[in-house]
Amino acid sequence: MDRATLLRVKSELTQSIRASEDWQPSYRAHPETFKALLLREAELEQAVAEYLAGLAQRAPQYVDWSLVPEPVKAAASPLAKKDDDLWKVEEFDLTKAVIDAITMLTTTGAQAGELASGIYIGVSSLSQTVLVAAREQVATLVSHVTETNRKLIREAIKQSIARGEDVAGTIERIKTVVNNPVRAEMIAQTESVNAYQTGLKNFAVETGAKTKTWESLDGACTACKPLDGEVVEIGEKFSNGSDRPAAHPRCRCGVYYQY
């Protein structure tokens, strides 16, 4: 089986698994948008996983190995500085990997808003509000993921030094900590809801919605459960400080807009 086929099969399996999980019912209200959400989330997870796998191979090149045998000092980190060109290239590569999926997830959220409200304004992946929102979310996502990658690499180096590992052992530790499928899954599950809900919110604002109601998932966490049914003005934040889900990693809560 070639790689393309393997990736397609994995995407289909991921979509089936996600479809069987608990979602706040509003996500399932329109099967076509729910199916699109699952597809785009699977694509995002695959894109992030592929990027992290590639970074795991590149990351050892970003370490000044002459500093590793010595105690790591705050003023003399062996890891290349975050403003070095190589990290700018990493940010560009990650942006390129996720922008399409985030754009389509934002589009899907806005289209779900059309179906829920019965107000059709012809939302597409080329709509200005979609493009701007997707670009802003990707910029934030890329910044956070890149900084976390740097922290993970630094911590891997410190762990190797503490264990007395040689360069080969340190390289393997770096690769293992960076190439983490569970982290890729968490990023995709969280950012897919962020993008979908951003699209839904922007549509509601554009079409004149007045208030919004938080709808918690059945069996929601202690952070989200108290919010169920809370109503605020559309421009206000809920009592948890969020203006829409996701309120935390892997959040599957929803928001309903009133006109």
Tell me how far the alpha carbon of residue 154 is from its chain's centroid. 22
Report yes or no on 18 lying in a domain.
no
Residues 221 and 133 in one domain: no
Report yes or no on 32 lying in a domain.
yes
- Res 19 pLDDT > 70: yes
Using the Cα atoms of residue 12, residue 15, residue 21 and residue 25 in order, give the sign of their dihedral.
negative
pLDDT of residue 77: 62
| Residue 223 backbone phi and psi in degrees, to 5 | -75, -35
Residues 223 and 198 in one domain: no
184 touches 48 (CB < 8 A): yes
Q: How many domains does the chain have?
A: 2
Q: Which residues make Cβ contacts (< 8 Å) with residue 151, sequence separation at least 6?
A: none
Report residue 214 as tokens: 């938080």
Residues 31 and 154 in one domain: yes
Enter the pTM of the model.
0.91
Residues 222 and 200 in one domain: no
Q: In what order do the strands lie in the sheet with 254-258?
A: 231-233, 211-215, 254-258
- The model's pLDDT over 34-73, given as tens digits with 9 standing for 90+, comes to 999 999 999 999 999 999 999 999 999 999 887 666 544 4
- The model's pLDDT over 67-123, given as tens digits with 9 standing for 90+, comes to 666 544 444 467 877 778 889 999 999 999 999 999 999 999 999 999 999 999 999
Tokens 């806005």 — which residue?
110
Cα distance between residue 193 and residue 249, in whole Å: 10
Mean pLDDT value of segment 149-177: 91
Report yes or no on 162 lying in a domain.
yes
The maximal CA–CA distance of the chain, rounded, in angstroms, is 65
pLDDT of residue 68: 66
Strand 211-215 and strand 254-258: pairing?
antiparallel
Structural domain boundaries enclosing 177? 24-207
Name the 3-class secondary structure at 212.
strand
Going from the C-alpha of 181 to that of each of 33, 45, 49, 224, 241, the distances in angstroms are 26, 9, 6, 26, 30
Name the 3-class secondary structure at 136.
helix
Question: What mean pLDDT, rounded, does the chain reach?
Answer: 92
Report yes or no on 8 lying in a domain.
no
Mean pLDDT value of segment 10-35: 93
251 touches 205 (CB < 8 A): no
Cα distance between residue 213 and residue 236, in whole Å: 11
Name the 3-class secondary structure at 255.
strand
Residues 109 and 153 in one domain: yes
